[in-house]
């Protein structure tokens, strides 16, 4: 990242200037130790005083410890700071003990290596293994922190749920907690964290409903838990009561994400088309068609 010092910032130290521009103390220390802060092309100390029209450059590139592996990724957008993907179903986002080299993270690092670029892997949003759609990856911890700090992020999902939802729209406000005795499953519980999900009916089918969903909060499995609690589990979601006779994974897709991007100072919005298996599910259900 490159900054040009204006009159309002002259006289500050480099450290003070970077803090004013959203850099954490931890990030500044890491950059200082790595010699990654330059003033007018010369390495600088964080206590160096800056003058008007000085050019401050910060090298945010990271070397990731994630093993590169040729996992397919579908890129919607990329620049020096972020990569936006349309995630496919059946692939875990981040390496785990059971998924060491077959995740989205492995694929992103492999892609960066092939281009001769360095970068970390810092998901801005999280998608379950079998959830598809827009996935934003920050290539540095600093950029991840900046996007999260601004907090102006809106997510829109499409879900196909079992049964016919009667209301045209509504809001589900129910706290969510980890189910006792399970490492994975969540449930509605008075002991849980506040969770809010808005929904609108897109299309009513014979025995399914297509919903447009906005999760106001971001709890683990929030949409799946809330819809199951309402009596309309996501089709294919066997963990929360759905049936997988017509689709083999939860019919849940992150269709759009809008967020404030500090690099440009503007909002960016990305859309991902509905995946084939969800289109087939909708179009194979009698009487109505998705449009």
User: What is the DSSP-derived secondary structure letter of residue 232?
Assistant: -
C-alpha to C-alpha distance for 260 and 82, rounded to whole angstroms: 13
CA distance 251 to 232: 12
- C-alpha 25/C-alpha 16 separation (Å) is 10
85 SS3 class: strand
Helix 25-33 to helix 141-150 angle (10° resolution) is 160
Tokens 């960066």 identify what position?
A: 112
Out of 128, 207, 245, 277, the active site residue is 128
**Strand 132-138 to strand 252-261: parallel, antiparallel, or no bridges (unpaired)?**
parallel
- Dihedral of the CA atoms 100, 102, 108, 112 (nearest 10)? 80
- Asked about 59 being catalytic, the answer comes back as no
SS3 percent helix, strand, coil of the chain, rounded to 5, is: 20, 30, 50
Catalytic positions, written as ranges: 128
């Amino acid at each position: 990242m490159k900054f040009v010092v204006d009159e309002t910032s002259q006289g500050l130290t480099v450290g003070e200037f970077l803090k004013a521009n959203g850099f954490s103390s931890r990030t500044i220390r890491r950059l200082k130790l790595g010699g990654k802060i330059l003033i007018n092309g010369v390495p600088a100390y964080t206590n160096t005083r800056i003058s008007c029209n000085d050019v401050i450059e910060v090298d945010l590139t990271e070397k990731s410890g994630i093993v590169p592996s040729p996992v397919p990724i579908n890129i919607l957008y990329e620049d020096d700071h972020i990569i936006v993907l349309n995630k496919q179903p059946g692939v875990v986002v981040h390496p785990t003990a059971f998924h060491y080299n077959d995740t989205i993270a492995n694929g992103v690092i492999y892609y960066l290596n092939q281009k001769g670029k360095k970068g970390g892997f810092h998901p801005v949003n999280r998608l379950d293994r079998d959830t598809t759609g827009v996935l934003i990856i920050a290539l540095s911890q600093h950029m991840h922190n900046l996007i999260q700090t601004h907090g102006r992020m809106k997510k829109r999902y499409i879900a196909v749920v079992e049964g016919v939802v009667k209301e045209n729209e509504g809001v589900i406000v129910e706290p969510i907690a980890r189910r006792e005795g399970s490492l994975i499953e969540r449930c509605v519980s008075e002991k849980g964290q506040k969770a809010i999900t808005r929904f609108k009916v897109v299309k009513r089918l014979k025995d399914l409903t297509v919903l447009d969903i906005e999760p106001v909060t971001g709890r683990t499995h929030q949409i799946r838990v809330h819809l199951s609690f309402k009596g309309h589990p996501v089709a294919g979601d066997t963990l929360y009561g759905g049936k997988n006779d017509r689709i083999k994974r939860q019919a849940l897709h992150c269709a759009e994400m809008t967020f404030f991007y500090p690099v440009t100072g503007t909002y960016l919005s990305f859309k991902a088309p509905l995946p084939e298996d969800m289109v087939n599910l909708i179009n194979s259900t009698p009487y109505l068609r998705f449009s």
